[in-house]
Amino acid sequence: MIRRIVISVVAVLALGAGVAYAATQLQSSNGTAVCVNQTNGLMRASSDCRAGEYAMTIGGGSDVVVTSSGTVTVDLGATSTPVTLPLTSITVTAVCDRANAPVPPYSPDAAVARMAFSAPSGMNAVSTPGSNVGTIGGTSLTHSIQGVLSVGQVSLGYGSTIATANDATATITYGVQLSEPNKACKFFWQATEAPNQ
């Protein structure tokens, strides 16, 4: 009987300590780092995310931030598989368009690299560099980053877009390498999202 009472007291103290620890974690300004599976939405506690996962911070007051990124090679005349950002629900797609090149000596495989963003519920977005690249209250935006015209040309370009949708804001930066000989565009991008205050 005494043994049962001691075990019960130890269990209650352990439970109480666990509650206190949980409360401390919830009040932490740093929050908890988790990785969210892009396919099924399941989370695991870790600051090192695997391919197919988004990094996310839970808790920590108003400092909730989600970082998503990708690297993809897109063939000339094709588009990448769209990726949907978790907070804004904005879809990010890399596009390697054929360019309407002038007559030779320009290449028949001239290309233009573009990043395309869409939000069915509407978004406000502006891209740079460039002028008049944006939408207010629209559902899509395409930003032309870089092009190649000449035979054998390899070109690099970069850009960024800030977009607000679904009561959150995303800052998306991206770069591209176009290769006329390889007939492909290699993209890399990163999006940082946070809820609107």
Same domain, 22 and 94: no
Same domain, 9 and 92: no
Range of the domain at 20: 1-28
Same domain, 22 and 39: no
Same domain, 3 and 35: no
Same domain, 74 and 120: yes
Same domain, 46 and 74: no
The pLDDT tens digits of the residues spanning 69-93 come to 999 999 999 999 999 999 999 999 9
Same domain, 169 and 143: yes
Q: How many folded domains does the chain comprise?
A: 3
Same domain, 50 and 129: no
CB 192 within 8 A of CB 173: no
The pLDDT tens digits of the residues spanning 87-145 come to 999 999 999 999 986 677 789 999 999 999 999 999 999 999 988 899 999 999 999 99
Same domain, 86 and 172: yes
Q: How far apart are CA 90 and CA 171, in angstroms?
A: 11
Residue 40 predicted with pLDDT over 90: no
Same domain, 137 and 90: yes
CB-count exposure of residue 45 (10 Å: 0-12, 13-18, 19+): exposed
- Closest Cα partner for 85 from 146, 168, 177, 197? 168
The pLDDT tens digits of the residues spanning 133-190 come to 999 999 999 999 999 999 999 999 999 999 999 999 999 999 999 999 999 999 999 9
Q: What pLDDT sits at residue 155? A: 96
Same domain, 59 and 101: no
Final residue of a structural domain among 17, 45, 64: 64
Same domain, 126 and 191: yes
pTM as predicted: 0.71
